[in-house]
């Protein structure tokens, strides 16, 4: 196993006694007091500073992702904090672990779908691509990422707003067009309201900003980390985790002791 | 255990078919396209929108916390991503778990120290309080949180900049004064450079903005989550985790098989 | 920072094409088919194989720690699995994060207390040490780890059984004596039932087996990891996480939108 | 959303003041001092006590999974512990998060493949099924789970031992036969050594014991949790995480500050 070694390189940051560089920028001169957190996230993820148009679109994406009320992840974060209040960071980590395929894969999936469609055949128009995408998902029996919502119908109000911001900043291009068109074709094909939802809109805007679909989940993680910290600050002043625990424990304890076959 | 039940309450967010409320604000009308991510974090943690002064100070804190180069947490995040590339969120979670007492407790500790000092006796001046704080930590043999840095000396350049931003926005009050004074008394007491470091400055500014010391670690978690996502985006394009793993495995594998007493 | 480098050493395991060594043992010849999981854990944590007495005591400790019903950690694990069913490992990880000071620090704390007491003055008898320990905790206003239980009183049935197993195997020595004596002095001092609970018994037995108090939390983590996997297998066949989520979300959503001051 | 509510049921465990039931068993009378940890894991995952044959096979699986030397997960666990030594449980959690598709999905994948093959057509013999499975994976360009190893070739020594234990206990049935046959057909089809590796053997034995493929990853998580605790005990006595960190940081810091385009 005595193989030739690869050098280990990184451009994230480095320090000297009197200066700190982040992504090639001087942290003290160029970042602190000048960038907001969303712009800093853009710098971290792209190596470039956003212009004011990119800044507004990217911050719009991020703030949309922060808070979704009492999600399973938020409840898990609060329960873990109850057990380990000395490790706030681990409670946030526990909640983040739940951002998997059920709730959080869809922005990523939408971005992937859009990039695959445009990369596959640049000569086609959005309407034709959209029709093919819908037909393909339908044939494979898969649900289309970024389409439909069980509460927000017939329209997801976040989508209209996100696309409006993108238009105002010059970032409502071919990915927004394709995502919108996929929504229309899906509604026609399935004969029911299937609006482009917030994750579909965010997937499209991540593409417009030039992010790869693999980075889209990272954008979602940033937003949700902010939200989970918010839940813990509320939990500090208004603790509810203990009550959720006690109710659940009480209800499951009413059973007799011979119930080991549940779930088998 | 059939106890009377407490209601479960939360003001984080709720939705109707056509509207979404976050912290009592309309997400579509008041948040998307209007707030940057730092302002949204402020809203989540306080229930209030920041004014422009609070926004600049809070964003300055947050961007300072994002990137610290190749920390143990960043390396751990990359290694976990190597094992589970389908779960980017879990790789960020793994890195966050390492934000414990060694590296990240100090902003929290500094805020706690400052709040305890001012809460203890509001009639004393900062200089007297600082002298007492330094003497107390010294007597108990504990290091003073927020003071000293092994690389950035005799001055931590982030501290001067953070305090400058705070002064410009009218938020360099008694906590900044006390933290600065603690640094001076510590240098005099120990006879060596003990500058207020970035975590000391951030602890003081969290106090100035009205955060409880318990929330200070949450602020650090938000910043670091952004940074860890940044590391994963770099890892996607420039993978180094495998090399770190292979080097470590190779070096530890050169030992003979009878070495089970290492670390016992 | 061009410092001289330390070698990186480990005796955990290494492999050649046809052999695998774990803790200096041949995995194929000496471990598979010969050791049970508890004995393997003992080997991993000590570098030595347990004799049959150590094996029975250590397995008794471990199985006691596996299952505690619907704890906050178990609920969190199930909620995270709901969000990320493709990452069972992350759901277990999320639950483990909750094994902090509230629920899991006590075996560690009891072991630390017992080791400190005997290390402090080997010439004293257990009764005198116990009296001093109880007086010391009382003076400092701290609760004594490993003592008292809100449900199992006046006796924790696990303690009697664990100490019985230890006596049968010749491992009920001075730490068991001291822990028992601390329980009696505590009951006398506070005038109420304060039985040695399971974590107190486990802390004492970890000491008897020669584990440092720092390793005691590791023993608890092993047991609980088994239990959390068990909860996920039940959740696969009998899912309850969605119901816990929906009830909580529904109850917190009945509030009006101007409730952002909860917990502030 | 005022929907009718489902009851929340669980058979994992419950307590009365003087008794504790786990999986319908009395913890004090039937478990402590009688079961080893592997048997307890079997009880937790199936609701049944293993007989002595099942016990030996299941413990053989578990101990095989514990220790794999300095894996990315083990290194990540050590790095997180360096940052948060007060939260040993979170360091184990961080390492577990890395048990994803790269390293740990294969036992699960092998079990899934074997169950799908036998469930699909019970009338075919193992040899025919194996040929079809290999051809199917080949056609789809996917690697076959549980087959091949970059170090252990031409044979993985763990496989022979695990199958030997299974034969001795009467658990080397049709899943072992099919897995073995898949290995032979794969070697013939690809013209190179493709031995059934340890995860393939474990996948087959999980099937023999009646576990669903979804539970197979849980078995792996249990084993690995034990191993990661072992690494932390070694790290407590022989710390290496700091050295891994400092080497990596030093190497990545030699670059100039304008290197923000790495990985973009």
DSSP for D74-135 reads HHHHHHHHHH-TT-HHHHHHHHHTT-STTTTHHHHHHHHHHHHHHHH-TTS-HHHHHHHHHH
DSSP H/E element including A21: strand A19-22
- CB atoms A2 and B250 under 8 Å: yes
- Residue in A94, A248, A263 closest to C238 by CB: A263
Closest CA to A82 of A227, A238, A226: A238
pLDDT at B116: 95
- How far, rounded to the nearest angstrom, does the alpha carbon of residue A128 sit from its chain's CA centroid? 28
* pLDDT at B103 > cutoff 70: yes
Q: Reduced to 3 states, what is the DSSP secondary structure of residue A196?
A: strand
Kindly identify which residue of chain A lies nearest to residue C76, measuring between CA atoms: A76
- Residue in A48, A90, A262 closest to D11 by CB: A262
Region A145-161 average pLDDT: 91
pLDDT at D255: 65
DSSP for A149-164 reads -SSS-S--HHHHHHHH
Region A111-136 average pLDDT: 90
DSSP letter assigned to residue B4: P
Strand residues in C18-98 grouped as ranges (E): 20-22, 25-26
pLDDT at D2: 46
Cα separation, C231 vs C245, whole angstroms = 17
Region D112-117 average pLDDT: 95
Q: Which residues contact B203 (CB under 8 A, 6 or more apart)?
A: B106, B107, B108, B109, B110, B111, B112, B113, B114, B145, B146, B179, B213, B216
Q: Which chains touch D (3 or more CB pairs under 8 A)?
A: A, B, C
A264 reaches B (C-beta below 8 A): no
* pLDDT at A214 > cutoff 50: yes
* pLDDT at A180 > cutoff 60: yes
- CB atoms D23 and A86 under 8 Å: no
- CB atoms C14 and B253 under 8 Å: yes
Radius of gyration of chain A (CA): 22
pLDDT at A253: 82
Min CA distance, D84 vs chain A (Å)? 9
Closest CA to B111 of B195, B226, B27, B215: B215
Residues 232-251 of D with CB under 8 A from B: 233-238, 240-242, 244-245, 248-249
Q: Three-state SS string across B177-191, please?
A: HHHHHHHHHHHHHHC
Closest CA to B7 of A68, C240, A244: A244
Region A155-180 average pLDDT: 97
DSSP letter assigned to residue A22: E
Residues 67-106 of B with CB under 8 A from A: 67-70, 74, 87-90, 92-94, 96-100, 104
C124 reaches D (C-beta below 8 A): no
Q: Reduced to 3 states, what is the DSSP secondary structure of residue D16?
A: strand
Q: Among A174-188, B246-260, C20-34, C249-263, where is mean pLDDT lowest?
A: C249-263
Strand order in the sheet with A19-22: A13-16, A19-22, A25-26
A161 reaches B (C-beta below 8 A): yes
- Chain B interface test: which of A7, A14, A36, A234 (most B C-beta within 10 Å): A36
A28 reaches B (C-beta below 8 A): yes
- Residue in B94, B253, B258 closest to C24 by CB: B258
What tens-digit pLDDT sequence spans chain C (264 residues)? 445 578 999 999 999 888 999 999 999 999 999 999 999 999 999 999 999 999 999 999 999 999 999 999 999 999 999 999 999 999 999 999 999 988 877 899 999 999 999 987 667 899 999 999 999 999 999 999 999 988 888 899 999 999 999 999 999 999 999 999 999 999 999 999 999 999 999 999 999 999 999 999 999 999 999 999 999 999 999 999 999 999 999 999 866 545 556 777
Kindly identify which residue of chain B lies nearest to residue C257, measuring between CA atoms: B24
pLDDT at C121: 65
Q: Which residues of A touch D97 (CB under 8 A)?
A: 97
- CB atoms A24 and D260 under 8 Å: yes
Closest CA to D158 of A63, C62, B59, C18: C18
Identify the residue with better confidence: A137 or D264.
A137
- CB atoms D245 and B82 under 8 Å: no
Q: What is the ipTM of this complex?
A: 0.95
- Chain B interface test: which of A88, A170, A254 (most B C-beta within 10 Å): A88
- Residue in B2, B28, B217 closest to A161 by CB: B28
Q: DSSP alpha helices (H): ranges in A67-197? A: 72-83, 88-96, 105-120, 126-139, 157-168, 174-190
How high does pLDDT run on average in chain D?
93
Cα separation, B206 vs A144, whole angstroms = 44
Cα separation, D85 vs C215, whole angstroms = 12
Q: Among B175-179, C56-60, D120-124, D195-199, where is mean pLDDT lowest?
A: D120-124
Contact B225, A225 (CB under 8 A): yes
Strand B19-22 relative to strand A13-16: parallel, antiparallel, unpaired?
A: unpaired
How high does pLDDT run on average in chain A?
92
D118 reaches B (C-beta below 8 A): no
Q: Which chains touch A (3 or more CB pairs under 8 A)?
A: B, C, D
- CB atoms B257 and C24 under 8 Å: yes
**Residue D154: how many other CB atoms lie within 10 Å:** 12
Cα separation, B65 vs B59, whole angstroms = 10
- CB atoms A260 and D97 under 8 Å: no
Contact D87, B87 (CB under 8 A): no
Q: Which residues contact C216 (CB under 8 A, 6 or more apart)?
A: C107, C108, C110, C111, C112, C202, C203, C206
Cα separation, C217 vs B11, whole angstroms = 36
Q: Which residues of D touch C98 (CB under 8 A)?
A: 89
Structure tokens belonging to residue C194: 């304060």
Strand residues in chain C grouped as ranges (E): 13-15, 20-22, 25-26
Cα separation, A2 vs D160, whole angstroms = 28
- CB atoms A252 and D9 under 8 Å: yes
Residues 198-227 of A with CB under 8 A from B: 212, 214-215, 217-223, 225-227
Contact A6, B246 (CB under 8 A): no
For the stretch A183-187, contacts whose Cβ atoms lie closer than 8 Å and that sit 24 or more positions apart, written own/partner, are A183/A147, A184/A130, A185/A130, A185/A131, A185/A133, A185/A134, A186/A134, A186/A144, A186/A147, A186/A148
pTM of the model: 0.96
Q: Which residues contact C167 (CB under 8 A, 6 or more apart)?
A: none
Residues 39-68 of B with CB under 8 A from A: 39-41, 44-46, 55-56, 59-60, 62-64, 66-68
Q: How confident is the model at residue A199 (pLDDT cuts 50, 70, 90)?
A: very high
Kindly identify which residue of chain D lies nearest to residue C155, measuring between CA atoms: D18
Q: Which residues of C touch D94 (CB under 8 A)?
A: 93
Cα separation, A118 vs A207, whole angstroms = 11
A18 reaches D (C-beta below 8 A): no
* pLDDT at A74 > cutoff 80: yes
Q: Which residues of B touch A27 (CB under 8 A)?
A: 64, 67, 158
DSSP letter assigned to residue D152: S
């Amino acid at each position: 196993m005595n193989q030739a070694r690869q050098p280990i390189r990184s451009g994230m940051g480095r320090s000297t006694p009197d200066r700190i560089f982040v992504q090639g920028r001087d942290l003290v001169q160029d970042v602190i007091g000048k960038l907001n957190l969303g712009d800093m996230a853009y710098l971290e993820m792209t190596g470039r500073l956003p212009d004011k148009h990119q800044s507004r679109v990217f911050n719009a994406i991020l703030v949309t992702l922060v808070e979704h009320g009492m999600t399973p992840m938020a409840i898990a974060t609060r329960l873990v904090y109850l057990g380990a209040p000395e490790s706030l960071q681990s409670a946030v980590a526990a909640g983040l672990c739940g951002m998997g395929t059920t709730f959080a894969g869809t922005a990523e999936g939408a971005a992937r779908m859009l990039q695959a469609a445009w990369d596959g055949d640049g000569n086609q128009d959005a309407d034709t691509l959209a029709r093919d995408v819908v037909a393909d998902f339908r044939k494979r029996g898969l649900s289309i990422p970024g389409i439909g919502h069980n509460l927000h119908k017939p329209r997801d109000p976040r989508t209209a707003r996100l696309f409006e911001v993108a238009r105002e900043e010059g970032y409502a291009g071919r990915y927004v067009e394709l995502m919108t068109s996929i929504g229309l074709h899906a509604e026609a094909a399935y004969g029911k309201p299937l609006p482009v939802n917030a994750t579909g809109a965010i997937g499209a805007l991540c593409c417009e900003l030039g992010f790869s679909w693999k980075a889209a989940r990272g954008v979602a993680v940033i937003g949700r980390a902010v939200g989970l910290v918010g839940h813990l600050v509320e939990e500090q002043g208004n603790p509810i985790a203990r009550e959720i625990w006690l109710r659940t424990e009480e209800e499951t304890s009413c059973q007799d002791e011979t119930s080991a076959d549940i779930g088998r």
